[in-house]
Amino acid sequence: MSKPIDVTIVGGGMITNDLLLPSIYHLQRTGVVGNINICALNTPPLKALHENPEFAQAFPGQSFTAYPSLDKDPSENFPNLFREVIAGMKPRQAVVVAMPDQFHYDVVMEALNHNQNVLCVKPLVLKYEQDIEIEKLALEKGLFVGVEYHKRFDRRSLIAKRQYGLGHFGEFIMGEAKLVEPYYYRHSNFQNWFTCDKTDPFVYVGCHYVDLVYFITGLKPVEVSVQGIKGKFPNGKEGYMWANGRVRYENGALLSVTDGLGYPDEASGSNEQCLTMFFDGDDKSGFVKHDDQFRGVTHSYLEEGIGAAGSIHNYVNPDFYRLVPWEGKGYKPVGYGFDSVAATINSIYSMENQVDGLPEKDALLNRQEIIREADEKGIIATPANSYINELVVEAARMSILRDGDAVRIIYGENPHVELGHAG
């Protein structure tokens, strides 16, 4: 009998509500996941998750243990409670990291130091050195770390990766990507952490397409320059509301990436996103065009607030994450968002069950082999196979804070970033 994996989600915000918790609830009822804990900074987001009527409809009878407990004063913060919750877990279960970007490192290290496997939302961390530290510690202890770059699991990305690998496009040479998130994000908890000194739209969502181009082509970025446009959140804090970045690759190819928190709330959305890549062949060219915001389905509802965009008329993305009827109770999540969460949680589940009962020395060797295979395969993003993202993030932050100065990425013995154009 295989044993289910207990899961602690640290962070109870938008991504937990929109993707992580429903995916993990479904894995719970299929026997992969055991107990579910969710730890947030305070009770209001936990209450919102607990009372979400969609979860009651889709996952009847399922629930989670809230930390802090729901009866605590909603104005009281518990910034270190996640440490106690992680310390209280059985060894080699799973911690899902869903906090603001700048806290990922601390939570991932806390989880690894307490012998927990990890699924972390993107970006894993904001510094290359931290990525390597995580990779080393996790491998040493035989703990699986997956990073939730869900666009890798979109079928169109997987098809493009296969065709590129088979040489059917030629060599990537020029590309354009866009990801503009809804304007209303400015009114959310973002105003507390999405400040100029911490992050920007390129690092927040542009990183999805940077990762995707690397996923499809395997080409390493060597130079990054990003400019941003600042604005004020309703609470008066200043953030970059828009960003435009340019990434140069080791073969000279260029990718332009436009991002923002500015897709109109009234539009049929729920956001704007797309990728075009041109390729050089032998006296011919090829291209990939992904229209990622409009996938051929529109709905017009009787009332507002039904679809993801909230507007009466909606572009429906059937591919990322939707709840649909299935053979079991309630509804089940489908799409590449679910596939991506399930890929890491299933990997942890099968790894731990495969070595269950073996002497620890053999179990460790087996787990290390399974982790190396996942690194090599390159489908699930891991610290070892997605470290270029941390280098790009470092370069992007250095560049945007200098209003677009070029920053190069140096590989080799000691990968790092520095001001200047790639040679």
Ligand X SMILES: NC(=O)c1ccc[n+]([C@@H]2O[C@H](COP(=O)([O-])OP(=O)(O)OC[C@H]3O[C@@H](n4cnc5c(N)ncnc54)[C@H](O)[C@@H]3O)[C@@H](O)[C@H]2O)c1
Site string for ligand X, 47-86 (x = CB under 6 A): --------------------------------x--x----
Stretch that binds ligand X, among 7-15, 126-134, 267-275, 346-354 (CB under 6 A): 7-15
Distance between CA atoms of 23 and 25, rounded to whole angstroms? 5
Dihedral in degrees, nearest 10, Cα atoms 329, 334, 340, 342: 20
Residue 15 found at the interface with ligand X (CB under 6 A): yes
The neighbouring-strand residues paired with 227 are: 244
Query: Which residues lie below 8 Å from residue 305, measured CB to CB, with a gap of 6+?
Result: none
Q: Which one of 40, 226, 288, 395 is in contact with ligand X (CB under 6 A)?
A: 40
Residue 234 found at the interface with ligand X (CB under 6 A): no
Specify the residue, 212 or 351, whose C-beta has the smaller distance to ligand X: 212
On whether the CB atoms of residues 408 and 396 are closer than 8 A, the answer is: no
Q: Which one of 4, 7, 9, 13 is in contact with ligand X (CB under 6 A)?
A: 13
Residue 177 structure tokens = 């990507």
Binding to ligand X in span 330-369, by CB under 6 A: none
Stretch that binds ligand X, among 14-22, 29-37, 129-137, 364-372 (CB under 6 A): 14-22
Distance between CA atoms of 295 and 316, rounded to whole angstroms? 7
Stretch that binds ligand X, among 96-104, 155-163, 226-234, 350-358 (CB under 6 A): 96-104
Residue 11 found at the interface with ligand X (CB under 6 A): yes
Site string for ligand X, 111-130 (x = CB under 6 A): ----------xx--------
Please report how close the Cβ of residue 300 comes to ligand X at its closest, in angstroms. 26
Stretch that binds ligand X, among 99-107, 248-256, 347-355, 398-406 (CB under 6 A): 99-107
Stretch that binds ligand X, among 54-62, 95-103, 214-222, 372-380 (CB under 6 A): 95-103
| # of chain residues touching ligand X (CB under 6 A) | 24
Distance between CA atoms of 109 and 358, rounded to whole angstroms? 26
Q: How many C-beta neighbours within 10 Å does residue 167 have?
A: 9
**Helix, strand, or coil (residue 167):** coil
Distance between CA atoms of 263 and 183, rounded to whole angstroms? 5
Residue 89 found at the interface with ligand X (CB under 6 A): no
Helix (H) or strand (E) holding 65: strand 65-67
Q: Which one of 24, 36, 98, 180 is in contact with ligand X (CB under 6 A)?
A: 98
Q: Which one of 7, 26, 36, 45 is in contact with ligand X (CB under 6 A)?
A: 45
Distance between CA atoms of 221 and 348, rounded to whole angstroms? 30
Residue 189 found at the interface with ligand X (CB under 6 A): yes
Query: Which residues lie below 8 Å from residue 397, measured CB to CB, with a gap of 6+?
Result: 126, 200, 203
Q: Which one of 6, 14, 254, 256 is in contact with ligand X (CB under 6 A)?
A: 14
Q: Which one of 41, 112, 160, 241 is in contact with ligand X (CB under 6 A)?
A: 41
DSSP string, 347-362: HHHHHHHHHTTS-HHH
Q: Based on the number of CB atoms within 10 Å of its own CB, is 22 exposed (0-12), middle (13-18) or buried (19 or more)?
A: buried
Q: How many C-beta neighbours within 10 Å does residue 65 have?
A: 14
On whether the CB atoms of residues 130 and 43 are closer than 8 A, the answer is: no
Please report how close the Cβ of residue 358 comes to ligand X at its closest, in angstroms. 34
Distance between CA atoms of 126 and 302, rounded to whole angstroms? 44
Please report how close the Cβ of residue 108 comes to ligand X at its closest, in angstroms. 11
Specify the residue, 121 or 388, whose C-beta has the smaller distance to ligand X: 121
**Site residues, ligand X (CB under 6 A):** 10-16, 39-41, 45, 79, 82, 98-101, 103, 121-122, 148, 150, 189, 204
